[in-house]
Chains A and B, each alone.
Chain A
Amino acid sequence: MEEILEILEDNARISFDDLAKLTNKKVEEVERIVKQYEKKGIIVKYKTLINKERLKEERGVVALIEVNVTPQKDVGFDQVAERIYRFPEVKSCYLLSGTYDLLLVVEGKDIHTVASFVAEKLAPLSSVKGTVTHFMLKKYKEDGVVLVKDEKNKRLAITY
Chain B
Amino acid sequence: MVSERVEKIPPSGIREFFDLVLGMPEVISLGVGEPDFITPWRIREKAITALEEGYTSYTSNKGLQILREEISVHLERKYSLSYHPDREIVVTVGVSEGLDLSLRAILDPKDKVVVISPYYVAYPALVELNLGEVIYIETEEKDGFKINLDKLKRAMKIKPKAIILNYPSNPTGVTYTKEELEDIWEILEKEDILIISDEVYDELTYSGKHIPFPSLKRAKKRTVLLNGFSKGYAMTGFRLGFACGEEKIISAMTKIHSFSMLCAPIISQLAGREALKAQKEVSLMRSEYQKRRDFIVKELNSLGLSTHLPEGAFYCFSSIRKFKLNSLDFAKRLLMEEKVAVVPGRAFGKIYDDYIRISYANSLDNLKEASIRLGRFIEKIN
A binds B: yes
| A residues lining the B interface (CB < 8 Å) | 7, 11, 18, 21-24, 151, 153, 155-160
**B residues near A, CB below 8 A?**
18, 21-22, 24, 27, 29, 31-34, 36-38, 120-122, 170, 236, 291, 294-295, 298-299, 341, 343, 347, 364, 368
CB distance from A38 to the nearest CB of B (A): 22
Given A21-B299, A153-B37, A158:B343 Cβ within 8 A: yes
A160 to B298, CA, bound (A): 24
A24 and B309 alpha carbons, distance in the complex (Å):
12
| With A157-B27, A158-B22, A159-B33 as contacts: A7 and B38 at CB distance below 8 Å | no
Q: Is B294 touching A24 in the complex (CB atoms < 8 A)?
A: yes
A-B pairs, 7 with minimum CB distance = A158-B31, A159-B33, A157-B29, A158-B21, A22-B291, A21-B295, A160-B121
B37 contact set on A, CB distance < 8 A = 153
Q: Is the CB of A160 within 8 A of B295?
A: no
| Complexed CA–CA distance, A159 and B347 (Å) | 11
A158:B38 contact, CB within 8 angstroms: no
Q: Point out the residue from A7, A18, A151, A160 that lies within 8 Å of B33, measured CB to CB.
A: A160
Contacts of B364 in A (CB 8 A): 11, 18, 22
How far apart are B189's CB and chain A's nearest CB, in angstroms? 31
Q: Are A7 and B291 in contact (CB under 8 A)?
A: yes
- Which B residues lie within 8 Å of A151 (CB)? 38
CA distance A28 to B316 in the complex (A): 27
Report yes or no: A159 in contact with B34, Cβ–Cβ below 8 A: yes
For the complex, give the distance between the alpha carbons of A157 and B25 in Å.
9
Once the chains bind, are A158 and B29 in contact (CB under 8 Å)? Answer: yes
Known: A156-B32, A158-B21, A160-B121. A21 touches B298 (CB 8 A): yes
Q: Among A11, A18, A156, A158, find the residue whose CB has the most chain B CB atoms closer than 10 A.
A: A158
- Shortest Cβ distance from A159 into B: residue: B33
Give the distance to chain A from B16, nearest Cβ to Cβ, in Å: 12
Task: Please indicate the chain A residues that have their CB under 8 angstroms from the CB of B347 in the complex.
Answer: 160
Q: Given A18-B368, A21-B299, are A157 and B31 also a contact pair (CB < 8 Å)?
A: yes
For the complex with contacts A7-B291, A22-B295, 19 further pairs of A-B residues with Cβ separation under 8 Å are: A18-B368, A21-B294, A22-B291, A24-B294, A153-B37, A153-B38, A155-B32, A155-B34, A155-B36, A157-B21, A157-B22, A158-B22, A158-B29, A158-B32, A158-B341, A160-B33, A160-B121, A160-B122, A160-B343
Residue of A nearest to B31 (CB): A158
Please indicate the chain A residues that have their CB under 8 angstroms from the CB of B21 in the complex: 157-158
Are A159 and B294 interface neighbours, CB within 8 A? no
* Docked complex Cα distance between A21 and B22 (Å): 31
Query: What are the residues of chain A within 8 A of B18 when measuring CB–CB?
Result: 158
A124 to chain B, nearest CB (A): 45
Q: Whose C-beta in chain A lies nearest to the C-beta of B170? A: A160
Q: Point out the residues of chain A lying under 8 angstroms from B22, CB to CB.
A: 156-158
Contacts of B236 in A (CB 8 A): 155
B185 CB to closest chain A CB, in angstroms?
28
Q: List 17 A-B contacts (CB under 8 A).
A: A7-B291, A11-B364, A18-B364, A21-B295, A22-B364, A23-B291, A151-B38, A153-B36, A155-B36, A157-B22, A157-B27, A157-B32, A158-B22, A158-B32, A160-B121, A160-B122, A160-B170
Residues of B within 8 A of A21 (CB): 294-295, 298-299
Report Cα–Cα, A38/B289, bound state, in Å.
Answer: 28
CB distance from A147 to the nearest CB of B (A): 16
> Measured between C-beta atoms, what is the minimum distance from A20 to chain B in Å?
9
CA distance A157 to B18 in the complex (A): 9
Contacts of B122 in A (CB 8 A): 160
Q: A23 contacts which chain B residues (CB < 8 A)? A: 291, 294
Shortest B367–chain A CB gap in Å is 10
CA distance A159 to B12 in the complex (A): 13
Q: From B302, which residue of chain A is reached at the shortest CB distance?
A: A21
Alpha-carbon distance A159/B21, docked complex (angstroms)? 10
The interface residues of chain B lying within 8 Å CB-to-CB of A18 are 295, 364, 368
Alpha-carbon distance between A128 and B268 when the two chains are bound, in angstroms? 55
Cβ of B36 to closest chain A Cβ, rounded Å: 5
The complex places the Cα of A153 from the Cα of B32 at a distance, in Å, of 12
- Which B residues are in CB contact (< 8 Å) with A11? 364
Q: A7-B291, A21-B298, A21-B299 are in contact. Are A157 and B341 (CB under 8 A)?
A: yes
- A27 and B15 alpha carbons, distance in the complex (Å): 42
From residue A146, how far is it (CB to closest CB) to chain B in Å?
10
Most buried by B among A11, A24, A151, A156: A156
Q: In this complex, what residue of A is CB-closest to B342?
A: A158
Q: In the complex, what distance in Å separates the CA atom of A24 from the CA atom of B291? A: 9
Cβ–Cβ contact A22 & B294, under 8 A: yes
Instruction: Return chain A residues, CB-CB under 8 Å to B31.
Output: 157-159
Q: In the assembly, what is the distance between CA of A159 and CA of B298, in Å?
A: 24
